[in-house]
Amino acid sequence: MRETAIIIIFALLAEIWGTIAGFGSSSIFLPLISQVIDFHNALLLVAIYHIFGNASRLSLFYKHINKKILILFGIPSIILTVVGALLAAHIDQTILKMLLGVVLALFASYSLWRPKRSIKPTKLFGVVGGGLSGLTAWLVGTGWVLRGAFMTMFALPKEQYIATIATVALIVDFTRIPIYFGNGFLDKDLWVLIPMLLIAAFFGSWIGKRMIKIISETVFRKIILGAIIVLSLLFVYQGLIYIF
């Protein structure tokens, strides 16, 4: 019972912060829940919760989806997610996380330094961003960092950003979850958590939406980039610990 309560509290807090920052709550929830249950169980529960969270956000912001960017991101995300699944067993994920962390920490730092700089949502950046985010969803366990980085380049209004990135994340999650189930990742005694996570995801999104209304566009962008820097530096730290 205590373990269940801890997991649900972690889930609620992760979804509130994830909704405000505009990225998948799994990036926060996975490190937390992994302290309570084993990694394979955590991976599938977080993937399911990620669907609940993004579906909840989408129900609140669906009118703001940018369809052009969704198409450009969605199709390559599906293709590269499958490719990443095939490569994941052959590449050391800790090293990949470290390299990804270095690149994205530099990118986010530059974006904070030059906040006015943005690009038009071209096909090139849409395809590259969608493909890489799908690939890293498998290779390094989370695709939001690259997805958030490329989405930020487009300087979308915060409602469009949240709705579009949530839709792309749903596409990726529906691609990978059947494979997790096929590998038998979730123990039977943990199935009871699924409906509880659904409730936590909805309320976390609801609370996060209320908080977004009082945050300016400038602050919102800084929150996203700040979150990217924090998670990127964590990737670098994990890589250095692994090497040394």
pLDDT, tens digit (0-9, with 9 covering 90-100), for 42-72: 777 877 887 877 787 788 887 888 888 888 7
- Residue ranges covered by each domain of the chain: 2-243
Cα–Cα distance, 78 to 93 (Å, whole number):
20
Q: What's the Cα-to-Cα distance from 125 to each of 15, 35, 73, 160, 239, rounded to whole Å?
A: 28, 36, 9, 17, 28
Residue 16 CB-half CA count within 13 A = 12
Cα–Cα distance, 76 to 126 (Å, whole number):
9
| pLDDT band at residue 27 using 50, 70 and 90 as cut-offs | low
Q: What percent of the chain has pLDDT over 70?
A: 78
Q: What's the Cα-to-Cα distance from 28 to each of 90, 224, 227, rounded to whole Å?
A: 26, 13, 10
* Structure-token pair, residue 166: 């949530």
Mean pLDDT of 163-189: 77
Pairwise pLDDT comparison (107 vs 11), residue with the higher score = 11
Q: Is the pLDDT of residue 118 over 70?
A: no
Mean pLDDT of 11-16: 83
Using alpha carbons, select from 143, 189, 151 the residue that is nearest to residue 47.
143
| Neighbouring residues of 218: CB distance < 8 A, sequence distance ≥ 6 | 115
Mean pLDDT of 12-20: 79
pLDDT tens for each residue of 87-109: 655 666 677 667 767 877 877 78
Cα–Cα distance, 82 to 45 (Å, whole number):
20
Using alpha carbons, select from 12, 25, 23, 13 the residue that is nearest to residue 224.
23
Reported pTM: 0.63
Q: What is the pLDDT of residue 109?
A: 81
Is-contact 25 148, C-beta < 8 A?
Answer: no
Q: What is the pLDDT of residue 113?
A: 77
Q: Is the pLDDT of residue 121 over 60?
A: no
Q: What is the pLDDT of residue 52?
A: 79
What value does the mean pLDDT of the chain take? 75
